[in-house]
Amino acid sequence: MFLKYKDKILSIILFSFFILLFVAQILLPDKTYSESERRFLAKAPDFRAEELSSGLLMDSCEPYVLDQFPMRDTFRSIKAVFEKYVLCKMDQHEIYEAEGHLSKMVYPMNETMLNHASERFENLYQTYLQPNSWNPYFVIVPDKNYYLADSSHHLSLSYDELYAYMQAKNSYMKWIDIRDRLYVDDYYQTDTHWKQENLVEIADYIVYELTGEHKSTSHSSNQIYASEELKRPFYGVYYGQSALPHKPDKIRFLTNETLENCIVTYTDGQNNTIASLYDMEKAMGKDPYELFLAGTMPIISIDNPSGESGRTLLMFRDSFGSSLAPLMVSYYDKIILVDIRYISSDLLGNYISFDKLSKENTDVLFLYSTLLLNDSMSLK
Amino acid sequence: FYWVYAISFTLQIYYDFSGYSDMAIGLGKILGFDYPENFYYPYISSSITEFWRRWHISLGSWFRDYVYIPLGGNRVKKSRWIANIFLVWMLTGLWHGASWNFVLWGLLYGVLLLVEKLFLLKYLKKSKFFSHIYVLFFVVTGFVIFQAEDIPDAFYSLKNMFCIGNLSLFSTETGYYIRSYFVLFLAAVLGCTPIVKKGIEKLCQKESMQKVCSLLEIPFLLILLVLVTAYLVDGSFSPFLYFRF
């Protein structure tokens, strides 16, 4: 009986599939933002007669239909799982899984981008640092690919070559190499960033290299910091990009009396906002990592009322600096963080009084990840 | 590296175009029209002559019926016959695009077909293995010319394919992409042959398997439908390669 009507049954199922998807696309409200992909989704195009006749309307309909497709995330996961487990493909959109971590292939080394970053750093040095006789230090934070690519046989740039290239291009800086002091589990499994709770010794080491001052090497985060955990699970940036099922991370942040008493001022070019080191509102937003120093801010000033060193740290950094800086607060009276992705280097003098900073007691640190250096067009 | 790229493109253009043609045939059937097949496993051909009877059949038929035969075909003196062949294949190249690389691609096939008609065909019949290698070699090389931006780009690609250029034959990237796409590659190569289709037909002809095959047809097609929808949703718009043709 079934076999007799098989073709009719198949036709009904297929047409029902198309009709259901079509109706769902029309009836379901449009989404504006994709949590998993961390991007805004295409809006419905405005209907104009001239666009219809020229074909432009269909060009703008395409991304809209794809972005607003019903069960989009489910379909993306189906594709990712099929590619990984049936086709045995080694990466999905250049994201791969190794040792429980999601990581992105960083390949090849882009000399143009490294040159651009170096040129921006030299501009900062010539404009603000050299007149004050400040000698900057440079920390390049390796991305997870450094620890995972070789053992998992994925494509990777030569990190030794990148480090050597940047050292040669920025020879006026002193280098602090932290590669051997980090492990892949010091990073979140689903995100690019490192875990703050694993950075206490890194922070101590960097400060030691900057100032010669160090705390006992036997201390751990438990001895001087209390650890708190965000209740919300953390689905990092690689989770959405890969679309593979993966358990989320947990964000922990470290605090103590000193950090709680810090006065944090954010400068976005127009306003100064007084806040705290950890922004709980941003922690509940689209990127929980923005808990650390409110994420994307051009200039942040951290004043430590209980500081006794008389020293100031001036840090030019990317997002990796957001979680590291709080762990350096106890060594300084003041930390100024600058992110030249969000403010032009040429305008810094309007917001930071460099001439008022102590020439002898100011440490200058450049802290950037290999991910940013190899794709540095955002540095202004 | 270039060989991996060239072979991948050869597979891509076949699946792109024959799939596009199959969609047209399927849609036609829904509406009650019967369109003929446009591709008939061209990559199993043992001569270029055979290849053009299996690849883009509608185009070859049209040029034969409306250009080659009206010009006299092979029922003219030899010099005119050779000219007819070159004219048809130059026009076939031009049909794909107003660019010299397409003309060169067409003329390549004109030369090969002429050589086969003059003397090579009888030698190709002696060894199936070498005749397949010969066809695939020229088809892959031809597609490198076909997809190039222009003539200098085509020669740059060809130079690197034959180790005359600056790029190495095998690199870290080559190894990675072969490993990553191996299963897909294997499936694509198998799909270019009638092995899978004939295997399934043979299996389903057995009385014990007829019911199983019929029952499995629905879930198989549904899984396929979900998968192609998933690929569509995840990818950005990717127009058919032959769309402009």
* ipTM of the complex as predicted: 0.85
Please name the residue that has the structure tokens 């691609």.
Answer: B105
**Where is pLDDT greater, at A126 or A43?**
A126
Closest CA to A334 of A355, A362, A356: A362
Q: Hey, are the CB atoms on A89 and B173 less than 8 Å from each other?
A: no
Give the model's pLDDT for residue A297.
86
Which amino acid appears at position A333 of this protein? D
Q: Hey, are the CB atoms on A14 and B173 less than 8 Å from each other?
A: no
Residue A195 has pLDDT above 90, yes or no: yes
CB B52 within 8 A of CB B109: yes
Contact residues for B153 (Cβ-Cβ < 8 A; gap 6+)? B101
Give the model's pLDDT for residue A214.
59
Instruction: Pick from B176, B177, B186, B190 the residue to mutate for testing the A interface (most A CBs within 10 Å).
Output: B176
Query: How far away is chain A from the Cα of B227, in angstroms, using its nearest Cα?
Result: 7
Give mean pLDDT, residues B15-30. Answer: 92
Sign of CA dihedral B108, B111, B117, B123: negative
Which amino acid appears at position B128 of this protein? K
CB pairs under 8 A between A and B: 69
- Note the residue count of chain B: 245
CB B107 within 8 A of CB B90: yes
- Note the residue count of chain A: 380
CB A369 within 8 A of CB A140: yes
Query: How far away is chain B from the Cα of A11, in angstroms, using its nearest Cα?
Result: 10
Extract the tokens encoding A100.
Answer: 């429980």
Give mean pLDDT, residues A350-356. Answer: 88
B243: chain A residues, CB-CB within 8 Å:
none
**A2 touching B (Cβ < 8 Å):** yes
CB A240 within 8 A of CB A35: yes
Q: What is the DSSP letter of A244?
A: -
Q: What is the pTM of this model?
A: 0.85
Residue ranges in B55-162 assigned as alpha helix (H): 57-63, 78-96, 100-115, 121-124, 128-147, 151-161
Q: pLDDT grade, residue B91 (50/70/90)?
A: very high
**A76 touching B (Cβ < 8 Å):** yes
Residue A238: C-alpha distances to residues A171, A226, A363, B226 (Å): 34, 28, 34, 24
Backbone angles phi, psi at A92, to 5 degrees: -125, 115
CB A96 within 8 A of CB A71: no
Q: Hey, are the CB atoms on A87 and B183 less than 8 Å from each other?
A: yes
Residue A1 has pLDDT above 80, yes or no: no
CB A138 within 8 A of CB A174: yes
Please tell me which residue in B4, B50, B60, B96 is annotated as part of the active site.
Answer: B96
CA B150 to chain centre: 21
- Bridge-based pairing of strands A226-229 and A252-255 is antiparallel
CB A148 within 8 A of CB A98: yes
A86: chain B residues, CB-CB within 8 Å:
183
Give the model's pLDDT for residue A369.
96
CA pair distance A380, A111, nearest whole angstrom:
17
* Per-residue pLDDT reduced to its tens digit, A281-318: 888 888 899 999 987 789 999 999 988 888 999 999 99
A319-323, A371-375, B158-162: the lowest-pLDDT one:
B158-162
Give the Cβ contact number of residue A203 at 10 Å. 21
CA pair distance B145, A160, nearest whole angstrom:
39
Closest CA to A346 of A180, A125, A124: A124
Nearest-10 Cα torsion for B117, B121, B123, B125: -170
Give mean pLDDT, residues B137-148. Answer: 94
Active site residue B96: yes
Query: How far away is chain B from the Cα of A86, in angstroms, using its nearest Cα?
Result: 8
Q: Hey, are the CB atoms on A6 and B179 less than 8 Å from each other?
A: no
* Per-residue pLDDT reduced to its tens digit, B221-236: 999 999 999 998 887 5
Closest CA to A143 of A318, A379, A337, A377: A318
CB B135 within 8 A of CB B51: yes
A87: chain B residues, CB-CB within 8 Å:
181, 183-184, 187
Q: Widest CA span of chain B, in angstroms?
A: 61
**A154 touching B (Cβ < 8 Å):** yes
Give the model's pLDDT for residue A154.
95
Closest CA to A348 of A126, A193, A185: A126
Q: Hey, are the CB atoms on B230 and A86 less than 8 Å from each other?
A: no
CA A229 to chain centre: 19
CA pair distance A300, A298, nearest whole angstrom:
7
Give mean pLDDT, residues B66-76. Answer: 91
